[in-house]
């Protein structure tokens, strides 16, 4: 597949290790394909743990000097990277859409809103303030320094091929850490393109490397290599659990952004049209393939019919197609495995008494296109209520009252995002405080931005990305006791 890029040098099939663009030593490659039709876009290197080690060595060699650079310089380099991303957003979006499938406008939105994490952390780099605390004795003072944790390893998923990277590398580099990244095998081209721009922005050799290859051996190297101080991961809860175990021996710092099972609650005092709008964005954005997508839609009995009718009308109007075509609102699912899970969840719900009111099957477009789907008569016993569907299925569950819906919403091991629509102020506070999740959207279906702490509780992970809190995971506290004063 030939991409019509303004700057063709942004599209590369080479990995970036220690400031060099490399192929696999044995020449092995992995194909990257377009999810629309499976066409080959490009081959990328199939690298093993030895190359991961090389990248880690380079990151270690670069780290001390990077941390010693005047903070203003680190800040300016990040800022320059941010500006280069904005200047090249059309090309980056085309690369993203081609390897991932989301509509071009969504790809652009992902890139711009997540490049903002580079801008934000370029600013935060200057505010890594320590503390001076009165001493326990009159001749002592307690000084608290914040220092970079050191070499970091990042593993990112395919659903936000660009955005998941900038929100991790931004705070790491700002803090004075260096980073080795392994992007998802489905979407490495966006990662390489970001590395091209990082190099142009002046990120020094070794401070940021990007390697592709089989996930597990590289993951093991990240977890076992004593030079890696911290691992930051976004992906499934299963892999997060595995990383936590593997990294346990080395007591590595971990940030984990894992799966969600977001409840989306509509109370009877809500603005129904706004709630439908929010549900459409939260559910069908990226064809339902985001960890903060509404997974269970709870609607109060008295308004469930009206809400369903409006939701179906809007969902039906979503146009499926290739992400580069005009007016397309939903692309294909990433692969057959994703379609299989969607089909299993629909079949399970049907077998247990659920009803299809829209979609429920693959689209005529073929491939991995799946129709926007709405189901009613859903109960807590169905798989759609327990597992993350990660696909365009809106399961509607009717509820009686606030107490019941909070119990249902919290009845999950996940705790990433929650959403609810209500207008009564007392209810807004009560429900926001009662929901067991790291993030709560009240009267909005979109939460993430660089100024807010993104992250989960329970088995949805640990650590936060974005905001003043987002840099803390890349810093260690050092207490210096000044005595003899
Ligand atoms: P998904 O099922 O949505 O692809 P994963 O958690 O499997 O989610 O993938 C997220 C990222 O984790 C990807 O970069 C993938 O390559 C990587 N990954 C998958 N398995 C492992 C593993 N055993 N060790 C390290 N990384 C892994």
For position 116, what pLDDT does the model report?
Answer: 98
Q: Which of 110, 221, 257, 465 is catalytic?
A: 257
> Active site includes 472?
no
186 and 99 Cβ atoms separated by less than 8 Å = yes
Closest Cα to atom 4 of ligand 1: 157
pLDDT, one tens digit per residue, over 393-441 is 999 999 999 999 999 999 999 999 999 999 999 999 999 999 999 999 9
**What would the pLDDT profile of 228-277 be if each residue is shown by its tens digit?**
999 999 999 999 999 999 999 999 999 999 999 999 999 999 999 999 99
What separation in Å is there between the alpha carbon of 452 and the centre of ligand 1? Answer: 25
Check pLDDT > 90 for residue 2: no
Tokens of 167: 């929100």
Closest residue by Cα to residue 235 from 247, 226, 227, 244: 244
Query: How many C-alpha atoms does 105 have within 13 Å on its Cβ side?
Result: 7
| Mean pLDDT of the residues in the chain | 98
For 303-346, write each residue's pLDDT tens digit.
Answer: 999 999 999 999 999 999 999 999 999 999 999 999 999 999 99
What distance in Å separates the CA atoms of residue 31 and residue 43, rounded to the nearest whole number?
A: 4
Q: Looking at ligand 1, which atom is closest to the CA of residue 222?
A: 25
Q: Ligand 1 centroid vs 155 CA: distance in angstroms?
A: 7
Which two structure tokens, joined as six digits, stand for 271? 């603005």
E strands present in 407-474: 417-421, 439-442, 461-462
pLDDT, one tens digit per residue, over 6-56 is 999 999 999 999 999 999 999 999 999 999 999 999 999 999 999 999 999
Measured from CB, residues less than 6 Å from any atom of ligand 1 are 155-157, 182, 184-185, 215-216, 219, 235-236, 239, 242
For a substitution probing ligand 1, which of 46, 154, 191, 239 has the most ligand atoms within 8 Å of its CB?
Answer: 239
Q: Are 415 and 460 a contacting pair, CB within 8 Å?
A: yes
User: For a pLDDT cut of 90, what percent of the chain falls above it?
Assistant: 100
363 φ, ψ (degrees, to nearest 5): -85, 160
Average pLDDT over residues 458-473: 98
pLDDT(172) > 90? yes
CB 287 within 8 A of CB 101: yes
* Phi, psi values for residue 254, rounded to 5°: -135, 140
* 3-state DSSP assignment of residue 145: strand
How far are the Cα atoms of 205, 344, 368, 378, 391 from residue 340, in angstroms, in the given order? 42, 6, 10, 20, 10
Ramachandran quadrant class, 377 (left: phi over 0; alpha: psi -120 to 50; beta: rest): left
SS3 447: coil
Structure tokens given for 361: 């099957």
Query: Closest ligand 1 atom to the C-alpha of 218?
Result: 25
205: left (phi over 0), alpha (psi -120 to 50) or beta: beta
Q: Is a pLDDT exceeding 90 seen at residue 1?
A: no
């Amino acid at each position: 597949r030939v991409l019509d890029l303004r700057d063709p040098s942004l599209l590369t099939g080479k990995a970036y290790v220690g400031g060099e663009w490399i192929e696999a030593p044995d020449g092995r490659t992995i194909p990257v394909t377009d999810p629309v039709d499976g066409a080959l876009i490009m081959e990328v290197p199939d690298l093993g743990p030895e190359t991961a080690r090389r990248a880690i060595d380079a990151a270690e060699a670069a780290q001390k000097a990077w941390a010693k650079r005047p903070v203003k310089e680190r800040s300016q380099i990040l800022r320059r990277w941010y500006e280069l991303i904005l200047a090249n957003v059309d090309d980056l979006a085309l690369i993203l859409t081609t390897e991932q499938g989301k509509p071009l406008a969504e790809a652009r939105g992902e890139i711009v809103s997540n490049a903002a994490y580079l801008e934000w952390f370029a600013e935060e780099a200057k505010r890594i303030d320590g503390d001076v605390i009165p001493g326990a004795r009159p001749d002592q003072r307690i000084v608290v320094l914040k220092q970079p944790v050191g070499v970091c390893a990042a593993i990112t998923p395919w659903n936000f091929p660009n955005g998941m990277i900038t929100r991790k590398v931004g705070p790491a580099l700002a803090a004075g850490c260096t980073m080795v990244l392994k992007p998802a095998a489905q979407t490495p081209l966006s990662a390489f393109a970001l590395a091209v721009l990082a190099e142009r922005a002046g990120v020094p050799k070794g401070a940021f490397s990007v390697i592709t290859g089989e996930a597990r051996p590289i993951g093991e190297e990240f977890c076992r290599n004593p030079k890696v101080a911290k691992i930051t991961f976004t992906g499934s809860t299963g892999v997060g659990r595995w990383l936590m175990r593997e990294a346990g021996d080395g007591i590595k710092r971990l940030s984990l952004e894992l799966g969600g099972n977001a409840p989306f609650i509509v109370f009877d005092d809500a603005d129904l049209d706004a709630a439908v709008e929010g549900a459409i964005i939260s559910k069908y954005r990226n064809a339902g393939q985001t960890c903060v997508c509404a997974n269970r839609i709870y609607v109060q009995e008295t308004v469930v019919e009206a809400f369903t009718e409006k939701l179906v009308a809007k969902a039906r109007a979503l146009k499926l197609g290739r992400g580069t075509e005009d007016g397309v609102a939903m692309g294909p699912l990433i692969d057959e495995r994703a379609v299989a899970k969607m089909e299993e969840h629909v079949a399970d719900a049907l077998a247990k008494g659920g009803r299809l009111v829209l979609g429920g099957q693959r689209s005529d477009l073929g491939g991995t296109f799946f129709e926007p789907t709405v189901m009613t008569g859903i109960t807590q016993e169905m798989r759609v209520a327990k597992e993350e569907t990660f696909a365009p299925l809106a399961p509607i569950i009717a509820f009686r009252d606030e107490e019941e819906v909070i119990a249902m919403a919290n009845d999950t091991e996940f705790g990433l995002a929650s959403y609810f629509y209500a207008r009564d102020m007392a209810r807004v506070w009560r429900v926001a405080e009662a929901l067991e999740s790291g993030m709560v959207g009240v009267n909005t279906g979109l939460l993430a931005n660089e100024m807010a702490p993104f992250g989960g509780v329970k088995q949805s992970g640990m650590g936060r990305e974005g905001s003043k809190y987002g840099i803390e995971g890349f810093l260690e506290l050092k207490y210096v006791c000044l005595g003899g004063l």
